[in-house]
Amino acid sequence: MKKFSFKLEPVLKYKNDRLEMLRNEHAGILRRIRTQEDKIAGLERERDACAAEFNAKKLSGIIPVEAVNYQNYLNRQNHIIRREYTVLEHIRKEEEQKKEEILEAKKESLSIEKLKEITMEEYRREASKENEMFIEEFVSNSRAAARGV
């Protein structure tokens, strides 16, 4: 019997390659999320340090112009932080979409894999039947030859 060959093997390879590509893209998005979270944490630390400095100066006495500068900086920092949180949410939505794409690609790959398993099992059954028929024919021929001798 000829060697097993699955006709959808190129499709399966394409689906698996696509799944791997999606996983790599997902990993990249997760890195972007971590980077964005680190960026936000750094901005928040800067803001908090400035706020603490501003509070300390308010207790020891501060000139109004300097207080306005602190307040403007803190407002600007809060605005930047809110904007960076918006960027983070956008990246997280992108990550969710990529997860959905991965799940869909997995389903497609698994369905083709299952079809391959079924086809291979049919091939094995067919090969087993052929082997049994070959053995039966061999035994019959051997017995016929033994009787004829």
Chain position carrying tokens 């630390």: 45
Can you give the pLDDT at residue 147? 78
DSSP string, 107-141: HHHHHHHHHHHHHHHHHHHHHHHHHHHHHHHHHHH
Can you give the pLDDT at residue 110? 95
Q: 3-class secondary structure for 4-42? A: CCCCCHHHHHHHHHHHHHHHHHHHHHHHHHHHHHHHHHH
Q: Mean pLDDT across the chain, nearest whole number?
A: 93
Residue 82 has pLDDT above 70, yes or no: yes
Residue 15 neighbours by CB distance under 10 Å: 20
* Region 123-132 average pLDDT: 88
* Region 81-95 average pLDDT: 98
Query: Cα 64 to the chain's mean position, in Å?
Result: 54
The better pLDDT of the pair 3, 100 is held by 100
Q: Model confidence at 142, in pLDDT bands (50, 70, 90)? A: confident
Residue type, 72: N
Q: How far apart are CA 135 and CA 95, in angstroms?
A: 58
Would you give the DSSP letter of residue 62?
-
What is the tens place of the pLDDT at every residue in 26-67? 999 999 999 999 999 999 999 999 999 999 999 998 999 999
